[in-house]
Amino acid sequence: MARGKKQNPFAARKRQKRANGAPERPDRRAEPYKEIERDNAFFIKYYHLQKICDTEEEWTQFLAKIRDNLPTTFRVTGFKDEAKALLNIIKTQLFEEYVRAVAELNELPTEQVERPLCLPWYPNGMAYQLHLTRKDIRRSEPLFRLHNFLIVETTAGSISRQEAVSMIPPLVLNVQPTDKVLDMCAAPGSKTAQLIEALHASPDQHKIPPGFVLANDVDNNRCYMLVHQAKRLNSPCLLVTNHDSSVFPNLVQTVDGSKSILKFDKILCDVPCSGDGTLRKNPDIWLKWNLGQAYNLHGVQYRIVRRGAEMLAVGGRLVYSTCSLNPIENEAVLQRIIKDADGALQLVDASHLVPGLKYKPGMTDWKLATKEVDSVYTSFEEVPENLHTIIRPSMFPLPPAEISGIGLDKCMRVLPHLQDSGGFFVAVLEKRRALNFEKNDLQDLEEPQKMETEAETKDDEEKSTPWGPQRKRRRLHGYKEDPYVFFTEDDADYESIKRFYQLNDMLNKRCLLTRCQTERKKNIYYCSEPIRDLVLHNEKTIKIINTGVKTFVRCENRHTEHPYRLAQEGLQTSNAFIGDSRRIQVERDDLVLLLNCTDPTKPPSTLELQTETQQRCKELGIGSCILKYVDEAFTLFIVGWRGTSSLRAYVDRDETVHILRLLGADLTKFEVNKYEKAKEAAAAAAAAAATTAAVTAATLTPEEETTVKDELTVNLTGTERSVLEDENI
Ligand SMILES: C[S@@+](CC[C@H](N)C(=O)[O-])C[C@H]1O[C@@H](n2cnc3c(N)ncnc32)[C@H](O)[C@@H]1O
């Protein structure tokens, strides 16, 4: 090789591979994208056998719909005036843009574009279905503004892009602000978010709701997704834990000074399932679906709901849900727990909480089959012995006389073709009295590990070896999380924070906490009193992943007299406790000016503001403050910073866009057209490629030159693809 130093590493590697006789890699760009074949003979045979549809005609509709892509749905979060104002903007400006864009995309006159559908069963008209799939929105340039809207408002916590059917369980759980709520299998947290919203639904009555949500998941990584999702709502009433729900330890509470076992008013068991109701959203399930999944899951689903029933207060409500259509994961689990509860649990009709939702009643007869659905069994006696560890007696329907008393007809089976949604199953249980297998002895609290061992022994007995999941033993202790250090009565920082922000005595300083054991606190969080008690009484038994909303942040600016600034996340809670000395009321134009300043090094000068705002700024010393804006329809509170000669709004980009949208301001500056960006990137890469090619052409052999060109084109398409590929939606 003459020009050793100038070797192109890609070309060298390719040459080497060719010399070693390696087969040529097929050109990825020439390969067409393979659509998943939406078919699975076993799935079709199995559900046809189960008669999940009433007629053959309906079955055909079902099959056609479940093979189709899922339309996009979203809901506006919260019930506050701000949410109503955003809904108004959605119904007018956003849908106008939607119609224009869809007309452009499909080359149709605007009158022929179908308007977004308001989901009739979702309260206050707050949820919508678009006649577009996620892929349509992600991949079509005319829809870039709609895409931007969905991304920004989701991050700002103002909307939630959630599958329509997944909104049902929290609605039928009917959470009230006073409820103690347990979400047993909570990650990634879209339903948890709904539970939190319901808890905060009466802000005038409860500044901080007396109830709380304990959201749990067995998967540690998914717990952090849950924290991320729930954080957008900034609730001080949330605790995230990491446990196996089927052996969730009893928790202690103190009522009037005496300890007792905590029972929950509302419990959501959105259990792990085979997920065949999500085939429209996740077509890859077509490739993997097999009956073994349902047989494997029945046991853990039963154990989770059983533990939930034990932890439920008498008079409380438990919702069992899956995104599976399989009676083994649904009706069979429910009949088993209801039978075991011997009258203590009752299925109830909750259809009035989702008026207009189309569904079918729960099944009262179903069959079991081999994995290939070639042998069908109607009773356990027919099951060959080699399948006895897989197909269990409890999976068969009870005899007709017995099953009719279970009330399975009150369950709701949502099938995709009924209202163009995913498939879903939901059942609501109420607890009439304590269960005969419930352990309410305080001394059991001393031995949480014993419970886990007992449950695992039971699990081993049931484990189905050939198709069974490989259950990992999970460590109860030894996880690593920063400590939860609550303020003491004589906390050194509290008095100065109190003085600076004129905090009133309604704020319980003992609910402030940090995540480090040092004198010099960085972030100060706030949680509600019941959450604090829950943490302090149970931190040795439960793996706490997260709690508290960031409320004060250390910010040492040499000009300010106080080292802690307010955090926007916590303002929703702390606002009620803060006095007038750190507040500025601003008019619309001032607020638009402040929000439009995106360069932190050049904050707006106070001289640019209206005379009254300038006057107020003069009275206010340097430091953190609250900007208050009063509109006809809503009031906003935003964290600000009064600088030496400037005023700034202290909110992130997505929140900024959200507020500007509410104010009806121009958003052009914040618009991201990724297609334009991709074109620019491609042009820049092409220019760079031309330059490099010119240089290499002068130094490489013709063979090397072709190789380099190839590599550059691959890189170019890669760049383009990465800009275009947006996995957010
Ligand atoms: C259907 S997903 C829950 C979806 C969630 N409710 C939502 O709306 O975003 C089921 C969850 O159960 C969790 N899980 C599985 N087995 C569990 C167990 N034994 N205890 C607690 N969580 C479990 C999984 O990690 C998964 O996150």
Q: What does the chain come to in residues?
A: 729
Q: How far is CA 501 from CA 398, 492, 497, 529, 549, in A?
A: 64, 16, 6, 21, 18
- What is the sign of the dihedral through the CA atoms of 465, 468, 472 and 473? negative
Q: What digits encode the pLDDT tens for the residues 214-232?
A: 999 999 999 999 999 999 9
Q: Is 244 annotated as a binding residue?
A: yes
190 is in an annotated binding site: yes
Is 272 annotated to bind a ligand? Reply is: no
> How confident is the model over 171-198, as pLDDT tens digits?
999 999 999 999 999 999 999 999 999 9
Angle separating helix axes 653-662 and 588-596, nearest 10 degrees: 150
Supply the residue whose CA is at minimum distance from atom 15 of ligand 1: 272
**Is the minimum distance from the CB of 223 to ligand 1 under 6 angstroms?**
no
Res 379 pLDDT > 90: yes
Quote the ligand 1 centre to 437 CA distance (angstroms): 24
| ipTM computed for the complex | 1.00
Question: 261-274 burial, b for 16+ CB within 10 Å, e for fewer?
Answer: bbbbbbbbbbbbbb
Give the Å distance between the CA of 224 and the centre of ligand 1: 13
Task: Give the pLDDT of residue 482.
Answer: 84
Q: 217, 227, 213: which is closest to 184 by C-alpha?
A: 217
| Torsion angles phi and psi, residue 674, rounded to 5 | -65, -25
pLDDT at 137 over 60: yes
Contacts of 111 (CB under 8 A, 6+ apart): none
Domain boundaries, the chain: 68-160, 169-365+394-452, 485-670, 674-729
- Binning pLDDT at 50, 70 and 90, where does residue 445 land? low
- Cβ distance 336 to 392 under 8 Å? no
643 within ligand 1 shell (Cβ under 6 A): no
Q: Please, which pLDDT band fits residue 701 given cuts at 50, 70 and 90? A: very low
Q: Choose the weakest-confidence range: 4-8, 272-276, 615-619.
A: 4-8
Q: How far is Cα 217 from Cα 220, in angstroms, rounded to an integer?
A: 7
Report the distance separating Cα 544 and Cα 548, nearest Å.
11
pLDDT given for residue 159 in this prediction: 96
472 CA distance to ligand 1 middle (Å): 15
Per-residue pLDDT, averaged over 511-526, amounts to 89
Residue with tokens 């009063």: 630
Helix or strand run (H / E) with residue 10: helix 9-19
Q: Is-contact 627 649, C-beta < 8 A?
A: yes
245 lines ligand 1 (CB under 6 A): yes
Q: What is the mean pLDDT of residues 689-711?
A: 54
pLDDT at 688: 86
Q: Which residue has the higher pLDDT, 177 or 696?
A: 177
Q: Dihedral, CA atoms, 565, 226, 179, 578, nearest 10 degrees?
A: 10
- From the candidate CATH numbers 3.40.50.2000, 3.40.50.12170, 3.40.50.150, 3.30.300.30, the one assigned to the domain spanning 169-365+394-452: 3.40.50.150
| pLDDT of residue 674 exceeding 90 | no
Cβ–ligand 1 distance for 272 under 6 Å, the answer yes
Q: How far apart are CA 524 and CA 503, in angstroms?
A: 15
Q: How far is the CA of 304 from the centre of ligand 1 (A)?
A: 10
* Residue 163 Cβ < 6 Å to ligand 1: no
Q: Is 314 helix (H, G, I), strand (E, B) or coil?
A: strand
Q: What are phi and psi of 117, to 5 degrees?
A: -100, 130
What is the pTM assigned to this prediction? Answer: 0.87
pLDDT tens sequence across 588-644? 999 999 999 988 889 999 999 999 999 999 999 899 999 999 999 999 999 999 999
Ligand 1 atom 17, closest CA: 218
Phi first, then psi: give them for residue 478, nearest 5 degrees. Answer: 90, 5
Residues 6+ positions from 105 with CB-CB distance below 8 Å: 136, 140, 142, 143
Q: Please compute the mean of the pLDDT values over residues 355-377 and round it to a whole number.
A: 97
What is each CA distance from 126 to 79, 90, 674, in whole angstroms? 9, 10, 29
Residue type, 238: L
Cβ neighbors of 7 (< 8 A, separation 6 or more) are 1
Name the phi and psi angles at 605, rounded to 5.
Answer: -75, 145
Q: Considering only CA atoms, which of 86, 73, 153 is closest in space to residue 121?
A: 73
* All residues at 6 or more sequence positions from 434 whose CB lies less than 8 Å from its CB, including other chains: 314, 344, 440
Catalytic positions are 323
User: Residue 687 has what pLDDT?
Assistant: 87
**Mean pLDDT in residue range 58-77:** 97
- Average confidence (pLDDT) over 423-451: 81
**Beta strands at 523-526 and 159-160: parallel, antiparallel or unpaired:** unpaired
Residue 481 has a pLDDT of 77
Mean pLDDT of 33-52: 94
> Mean pLDDT lowest for which of 182-191, 482-491, 579-588?
482-491
Ligand 1 pocket test, pick from 217, 240, 267, 476 with the greatest ligand atom count within 8 Å of Cβ, gives 217
What pLDDT score was predicted for residue 59? 98
Q: Is 78 left (phi over 0), alpha (psi -120 to 50) or beta?
A: left
Nearest atom of ligand 1 to the alpha carbon of 248:
20
Q: Is 582 in the pocket of ligand 1 (CB under 6 A)?
A: no
State if residue 136 touches ligand 1 by the CB under 6 angstroms criterion: no
Q: What spacing in Å lies between the alpha carbon of 271 and ligand 1's midpoint? A: 6
pLDDT at residue 695 in the model: 61
Rounded Cα distance, 698 and 352, in Å: 77
**Mean pLDDT along residues 478-504:** 88
Task: Say whether pLDDT at 464 is over 70.
Answer: no
Instruction: Decide: 191 in ligand 1 pocket, CB within 6 A.
Output: yes
**Average pLDDT of the residues of the chain:** 88
Residue 186 known to bind ligand: yes
Relative to the CA of 219, which ligand 1 atom is closest?
25
Cβ atoms within 10 Å of 488's Cβ, excluding its own: 10
Give the tokens for residue 665: 């301001």
